Amino acid sequence: MSKFTFLKELLTDPGTRFYFLSAHGFYHGMSDEKYIKRLWKYRMGDQVLDLDDPKTLCEKLQWLKIYDHNPEYTKFADKYEVKKIVSETIGKEHVVPLLGVWDDFDDIDFSKLPDQFILKTTHDSGGFMICKDKSTFDVNAARKKFKKAVKRNFYWSGREWQYKNIPPRIIAEKYIDSLGKPDSFEYKLTCMNGEVKFTTVCRGIAHAGFKDRTNDHFDRNGQKMPWYVFYEPSKTPVELPPQIDELIEYSEKLAKGIPYVRVDYYIVDGTVYFGEMTFNTWDGFMEFTPHEWDRKLGDMLVLPDEKRS
């Protein structure tokens, strides 16, 4: 998009203007409820957000963002703190080894890191860099990226409360060669009220474009589900892993007492590795195909009787 086109949209399109002003902190004084109602309008179009009697999955996820503020969620969303929880809950062998944690990028002593590693921010989504060869790793580019990232509070963009109070840090993890490739698999188990309702098998590179990754959904009984959100199903056969019962067991231990959470895993040489926990898939703004599955999945989620905000 050219600068002229952007300026034109900024002046004429309310949605573009809302996103721009939001990114620059103009709505920090707006309540979560009011902000989410505005955001819903621009993300979901003609649909009306009903917070008094939410029925669809997307509506219920917005309700949870506003009214289910459990301090424990902050620890689960923190990519450093969650490693301790996972180690204690399902075993440290399922945690990708930690190589270091720092408050500031300039505190990292790269001479003490192995030749290959992954750098991640602890407090947001998608903040990472992969180093496959330390001799060619662009430290200056990494410094620029992470210096900017640690100043950003991911909470403000979608009001996902669990991110609000995470201390911004940088961690280094062991590099796993089989991940991050076009034929890589990731397994995402969506839990509602402490039970796994469906498993998503993702093939391709995480955060890739919609045409470069596929998602196939399977119910609790292993049957393929006839819907998708953004990423289309694979055109070639995809199956659940042999370790699916193990993944379900681990997920339900981690999801105990939580209304909605998605637990992600990788499987490398037969070993299950925990990825992360997500409390609002796609920030709670999902375009279902077919559309009726938004309501069908919403029927599976029972909201808490009391608000906790």
Listed by start position, the domains of the chain span: 73-174, 179-278
What pLDDT does 177 receive? Answer: 80
What residue ranges of the chain have pLDDT lower than 50? none
Structure tokens belonging to residue 84:
């301790």
pTM of structure: 0.93
Question: What share of the chain in percent tops pLDDT 70?
Answer: 99
Class of domain 179-278: alpha beta
Burial of 93 (0-12, 13-18, 19+ CB in 10 A): exposed
What pLDDT does 208 receive? Answer: 75
What pLDDT does 306 receive? Answer: 82
**To 5 degrees, how large is the angle CA 204–CA 209–CA 214?**
40
Rounded to whole angstroms, how far apart are CA atoms 10 and 18? 9
Rounded to whole angstroms, how far apart are CA atoms 259 and 191? 8
